[in-house]
Amino acid sequence: MRPKKTKKVYPEPSRRVFVAMSGGVDSSVAAALLKKRGFNVIGAHIKCFNIDGCEKKDAEDAKRVAEQLNIPFYIFDLEKEYKEKVVQYMVEEYQKGLTPNPDVMCNKEIKFGLFFDKAMKLGADYIATGHYARIGKPKSGPMSLLTARDQNKDQSYFLWTLAQNQLKRCLFPIGDYKKSEVRKLAKKFNLLTSEKKDSQGICFLGKVAIKDFLKQYIPAKRGTVLTASGKKIGEHDGSHFYTIGQRRGLNIGGAKSPLYVAEKNAKKNTLIVVEGEKNPMLYKKDILLKEINIINPETKLGTSGLDVFARVRYRQPLAKAKLYKLSNMSCRMVFSHPQKFVAPGQSAVFYSVCSKNKALLGGGVIC
């Protein structure tokens, strides 16, 4: 069950590594693999804000796995910071009429921000997580962030905010394995999380619907649902509760084909919907990105454009595009073919066209 050989970075095994253990199978196997390879492994559970009560169970599972592996275990209480940097960010973005990505913000501010910094201060040489991604380093030059071997589970999309100083101190032990192989390894290591189901959706919400959560912070406000021609065909309870491309929850009958949200206006509190997912209004070929982060400093953006592969949603197939620099923090992305359901506030990431393992060059927030 050995994975295919790839250029990966595993430093001297005796180094101390803090493993972020969520209580799930992926991070459990990550800790087990590192211990097997001879690292000085320390388990660390990051306590975050959670509204459905599963946090205690996850923390207990992480602790029990650490006991199975006979490694030290600590809990990093970052609940207050998580509320401020992730939850508040998400609510404020929805209030603006945008569709934020809390998983990206969690990685940026919590896992590879506060947790990373605290681990380094406690003497860690590295931190490790259960992300499906890989790190590579050429014979000379900066580190690279590569897609996972399991392309169906690849999580590089959520890691576009990482910088070189972080990549040098990060390990992604399961990036060379397929999910099915990770499950088999969990059983081989006799880990109690081997059969535990993967979490779905936004982590801190659990089974709570995002709309129900947002209603605790954003008051419902009746607004109109319009066709592309401006005809009123229904009402909604707040445009900020919807996102581009949304189909469910519109509760509008009479259409021959499924209705999709094509545009939303937070100031006017209106939604424009169209019939059928092939409607041109649901596609965009030219988008603007802000808050750009370039992972590899050797990547040079210019006004003449850089050929890349890109995606505007998690698990979306990579599409050919050209990236044009507008400023140090913004750029223009032009796809070869129009892309569906482009939602302002979401992340757009771009990869090298030359890399066999698809090196993630960077990303930005869709304007």
Task: Tell me how crowded residue 139 is: count the other CB atoms within 10 A of its CB.
Answer: 5
pTM of the model: 0.92
Arithmetic mean of pLDDT, 229-235 = 94
Percent of the chain scored above 70 by pLDDT?
94
pLDDT at 312 over 60: yes
* Nearest Cα residue to 18 out of 96, 128, 109, 97: 128
In which band, very low, low, confident or very high, does the pLDDT at 6 lie, cut at 50, 70 and 90? very low
Arithmetic mean of pLDDT, 184-194 = 97
Both ends of the chain: CA-CA distance in Å?
A: 44
Q: Walk me through the domains of the chain, giving residue ranges and CATH numbers.
A: 16-188 (3.40.50.620), 219-278 (2.30.30.280), 282-366 (2.40.30.10)
pLDDT at 3 over 60: no
pLDDT at 354 over 90: no
pLDDT (0 to 100) of residue 10: 57
Residue in the structure block whose two tokens are 């180094």: 15
Arithmetic mean of pLDDT, 315-332 = 95
pLDDT at 278 over 50: yes
- Catalytic sites, residue numbers: 106, 203
In which band, very low, low, confident or very high, does the pLDDT at 11 lie, cut at 50, 70 and 90? low
Across the chain, mean pLDDT equals: 92
Which segments of the chain are extended strands (E)? 16-20, 40-47, 73-77, 126-128, 133-136, 144-147, 170-171, 223-226, 232-236, 259-265, 270-275, 283-294, 306-311, 319-327, 330-340, 347-352, 359-366
Arithmetic mean of pLDDT, 183-202 = 91
pLDDT tens for residues 64-111?
999 999 999 999 999 999 999 999 999 999 999 999 999 999 999 999
Nearest-angstrom CA–CA distance, 142 and 300: 14
